[in-house]
């Protein structure tokens, strides 16, 4: 089995560097006899002479030169590894895996992530959107570290932090009769084409909190992946979409878009970040939550 250890390479390198066991011992915090015993053992375990005893100094043999080259190549990698691990230990390095259960939040997330990456140059961010057992399950399975969700499910071991509120509104185009309406009622959507993200309707607030309570369904539903395309369609009168008010406002600089309140009182949503309690000592994770919760 393997007998050559990192410590042996260190000794070989240091002895070659200092040229004497005594000096090398000083640097390694070992006594000269300790090294003498060590190198003898290495040599007989490997069955190779590593040094030629020349007078009172040690000169590397061919095999020794070869080992020295190996040491010079491998030891820096060990050192690097240890400094990396220290960063892991201090929570300075890692991958923050963020799960999303809220399609339109993607735009918001982007705005949070960019400055965060600046602050934590050694932390990578990974965003995932599909979960076999739901976002909460993904948190428990350790598939993700942070969950962006509008539905905090308070379970032991998990914690949720509210990060921002927004109002869900109906986005309509410039030709739409509702464009200047104070608000819209469910029955006003029976003849509309509703554009949504491609997820089950029980995960769309426009259904669960607006249409279904009134027993209404829109004439047609179109599913579109990306927010940009969705709003282009809306601006051209190909349908209407339920989105956060701030998102519609943002896109309004590019396309002509109007926001209409959903119902008399409007629909207000709150977004939470969920995380495992066991992760609370991870510095970069805690900072992400604090940073995200502070108003941008």
Partner DNA sequence: ATGACTATATGAATTCTGTGCATTAACGAG
Partner DNA sequence: CTCGTTAATGCACAGAATTCATATAGTCAT
The binding site for a second copy (CB under 8 A) comprises 1-7, 10, 29, 46-48, 52, 54, 59, 62-63, 66-67, 70, 73-74, 77-79, 81-82, 84-86, 88-89, 94-95, 142
Non-local CB neighbours of 75 within 8 Å, separated by 6+ positions: 6, 9, 10, 13
Number of residues that bind DNA (CB under 7 A): 22
Residue 22 touches DNA, criterion: CB under 7 A: yes
- Pairing verdict, β 183-184 and 258-262: parallel
Distance of CA 259 to the CA centre of its chain: 32
Binding part of the chain for DNA, among 22-30, 148-156, 220-228, 233-241 by CB under 7 A, reads 22-30
Residue 86 binds: one of a second copy, DNA, none (C-beta under 5 to 8 A by kind) = a second copy
Residue 264 touches DNA, criterion: CB under 7 A: no
Residue 41 touches DNA, criterion: CB under 7 A: yes
Q: Please say whether the beta carbons of 159 and 238 come within 8 A.
A: no
What is the greatest pairwise CA distance in the chain?
A: 102
What does the DSSP 8-state code read for residue 133? Answer: T
Q: Least separation, in Å, of the C-beta of 86 and DNA?
A: 20
Residue 157 touches DNA, criterion: CB under 7 A: no
Q: How far apart are CA 81 and CA 86, in angstroms?
A: 9
Q: Least separation, in Å, of the C-beta of 59 and DNA?
A: 11
Q: Which one, 40 or 219, has the nearer CB to DNA?
A: 40
DSSP run (H or E) holding 77: helix 62-89
Q: Which one, 24 or 233, has the nearer CB to DNA?
A: 24
- Tokens linked to 259: 């926001």
Q: Which one, 30 or 48, has the nearer CB to DNA?
A: 30
Q: List phi, psi (to 5°) of 140.
A: -65, -40
Q: How far apart are CA 6 and CA 225, in angstroms?
A: 52
Residue 39 touches DNA, criterion: CB under 7 A: yes
Q: How far apart are CA 23 and CA 41, in angstroms?
A: 20
Q: Which one, 31 or 62, has the nearer CB to a second copy?
A: 62
**DSSP states along 180-196:** T-SEE-GGGGTTPEEEE
Q: Least separation, in Å, of the C-beta of 207 and a second copy?
A: 37
Residue 41 binds: one of DNA, a second copy, none (C-beta under 5 to 8 A by kind) = DNA
Site residues for DNA per CB under 7 A: 20-23, 25, 29-34, 36-41, 53, 55-58
């Amino acid at each position: 089995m393997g007998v050559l250890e990192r410590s042996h390479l260190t000794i070989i390198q240091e002895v070659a560097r200092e040229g004497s066991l005594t000096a090398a011992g000083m640097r390694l915090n070992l006594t000269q006899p300790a090294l003498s015993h060590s190198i003898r053992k290495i040599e007989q375990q490997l069955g190779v002479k590593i040094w030629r005893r020349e007078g009172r100094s040690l000169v590397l043999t061919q095999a020794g030169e070869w080992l020295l080259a190996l040491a010079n190549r491998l030891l820096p990698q060990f050192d690097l590894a240890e400094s990396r691990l220290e960063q892991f230990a201090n929570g300075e390095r890692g991958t923050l895996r963020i799960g999303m259960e809220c399609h339109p939040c993607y735009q918001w997330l982007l705005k949070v992530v960019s400055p965060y990456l600046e602050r934590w140059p050694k932390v990578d961010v990974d965003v995932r959107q599909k979960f076999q057992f739901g976002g909460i399950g993904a948190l428990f399975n350790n598939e993700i570290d942070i969950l962006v969700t509008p539905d905090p499910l308070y379970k032991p071991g998990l914690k949720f932090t509210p990060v921002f509120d927004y109002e869900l509104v109906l986005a309509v185009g410039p030709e739409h009769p509702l464009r200047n309406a104070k608000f819209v009622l469910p029955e006003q959507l029976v003849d509309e084409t509703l554009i949504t993200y491609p997820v089950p309707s029980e995960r769309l607030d426009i259904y669960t909190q607006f249409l279904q309570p009134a027993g209404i369904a829109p004439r047609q539903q179109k599913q579109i992946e990306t927010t940009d395309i969705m709003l282009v369609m809306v601006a051209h009168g190909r349908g209407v979409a339920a989105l956060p008010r701030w998102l519609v406002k943002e896109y309004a600089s590019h396309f002509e878009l109007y926001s209409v309140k959903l119902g008399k009182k409007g629909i207000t949503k709150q977004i939470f970040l969920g995380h495992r309690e066991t992760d609370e000592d991870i510095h970069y994770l805690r900072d992400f939550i604090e940073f995200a919760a502070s108003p941008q």
